[in-house]
Amino acid sequence: ISCLIIYLALVKYLRFQHRDQLLKNFSHLNSTSKLKDMTYEESREISRVLIELDCPYISHTSLSLALFQTYSVPSISKLLNKTGRLNLPSCVGKRAEDTVCLLAELQTFGLFSQRGSLAISRINFLHSIYSTSISQDDLLFTLSLFIFEPLRLIDQFEWRTSTELEKYSRFVLWSHIGQKMGIKHLPSNPDDLLNWLKVYKSKAVVFDPSNVKLGEATINLFARPYPKFLKPFLRKSIIYFLPDDIREAFGWSNEIPLYISRLIPIIFKIRSFLLLHFTLPRQASFDFGLRDPSLENPSMDDETTFYQRSNWLFEPWYVKKTFWNQFWSVFGFSVPSNEFQQEGYEIHQLGP
């Protein structure tokens, strides 16, 4: 019992260690007027605490939900349906994992690393193929969701909420990415961007059959790894995490039964309680499944240009076979194999 008491006391003493150290290290940015002076490198260092140490689970999965929400805009969903990469079961898994890899490269290594530069170049190339069909507003909408949705979900479901410093750092981080993507008329502060987002959503987020087609394909992708008997529950659970206006644009306004709206908050409150009171702070960064994040600037002459991952979201693309991950095949899950390019990926080959 004495050991347990000591452990719980240690958890209480250390649990906010990363956040408190962050506030101390960046005390020169402790007012609204000073936040605007935050640099890109400072935003990376600040964001890292929330993304890789304190709240990696929701930070990671919320990007997929943010991307999902972009399909609620008909101009976006019609284009993506036309390409056929997101509504075909044979393509949608790889397309989703490739997107995860590109975003992970940016978040793990930064814009100005060699890997980050390759990732943003690849993103820009893929967008250039459809440049006449993608509007600046649609790009800014997507960028805004990548900024605000993880913060919304973290504040609602994680064991701690984000600080003002962390909120602003996410704006600075993604604004720099937006500039590299050639997005014009980026607001100069998060409040203005949030106001723009609300106005844009009121006009652009509307019901359309193309939204539904893409939305159903995405729901099926989220639920694909799980047993059939769980899929109805998973479907309703995924829809629960979407904002009301997004649900309406997919035609899912009445898809949330009372038990889901009660059960999910309880599950996450229990999770938050356990993390807050019974777990020590993470010391190793969550690397978004990138096997060797130390290879930040590999030589272009290096023959090893393939990068492997250690985990996956939907399908095990680019993950090396191990004894442990092969075990999941017993339960019917897809596991790493040659079919999923276990040798790894080359950044300039990601995407369709």
For 232-252, what is each residue's pLDDT tens digit? 999 999 999 999 999 999 999
Phi-psi region of 289 (alpha: psi -120 to 50; beta: other; left: phi over 0): left
Q: What is the pLDDT of residue 116?
A: 93
Q: What is the pLDDT of residue 296?
A: 52
Burial (Cβ within 10 Å: 0-12, 13-18, ≥19) of residue 304: exposed
Lowest mean pLDDT among 206-210, 253-257, 267-271: 253-257
For residue 346, which of 294, 282, 302 has the smallest C-alpha distance?
A: 302
pLDDT over 50 at 206, yes or no: yes
Token pair for 254 = 């009445």
Cβ atoms of 167 and 151 within 8 Å: the answer is yes
Lowest mean pLDDT among 87-91, 175-179, 256-260, 311-315: 87-91
Q: What is the pLDDT of residue 326?
A: 84
**Could you tell me which residues come within 8 angstroms of residue 247 by beta carbon, excluding any fewer than 6 positions away?**
239, 253, 255, 256
Lowest mean pLDDT among 33-42, 71-80, 212-221, 309-318: 309-318
pLDDT over 50 at 286, yes or no: yes
Per cent of the chain over pLDDT 70 is 94
pLDDT over 80 at 164, yes or no: yes
The pLDDT tens digits for 7-40 are 999 999 999 999 999 999 999 998 888 899 999 9
Q: What is the pLDDT of residue 144?
A: 97
- Give the dihedral of Cα atoms 117, 168, 309, 115; nearest 10 deg: 10
pLDDT over 60 at 108, yes or no: yes
Token pair for 173 = 């981080």
**Amino acid (one-letter) located at 123:** I
pLDDT band at 228 (very low <50, low <70, confident <90, very high): confident
Q: What is the pLDDT of residue 303?
A: 46
Burial (Cβ within 10 Å: 0-12, 13-18, ≥19) of residue 215: buried
Domain ranges of the chain: 2-291
Q: For the stretch 101-122, what's the b/e string if a residue is b when 16 or more beta carbons lie within 10 angstroms of its beta carbon?
A: bbbbbbbbbbbebebbbbbbeb
Q: What is the pLDDT of residue 321?
A: 86
**Amino acid (one-letter) located at 30:** N
Q: How many CA atoms lie within 13 A of 345 on its CB side?
A: 29
pLDDT band at 295 (very low <50, low <70, confident <90, very high): low
Q: What is the pLDDT of residue 153?
A: 97
Q: What is the pLDDT of residue 125?
A: 94
Q: What is the mean pLDDT of residues 259-283?
A: 96
Q: What is the pLDDT of residue 75?
A: 94
Q: What is d(CA 99, CA 69) in angstroms, rounded to the nearest whole number?
A: 15
pLDDT over 50 at 301, yes or no: no
Q: What is the pLDDT of residue 327?
A: 80
Q: What is d(CA 18, CA 349) in angstroms, rounded to the nearest whole number?
A: 36
Higher pLDDT, 81 or 200: 200
How many residues in the chain? 352
Token pair for 67 = 């991307």
What average pLDDT does the structure give for the chain? Answer: 89
Cα 80 to the center of its chain, rounded Å: 19
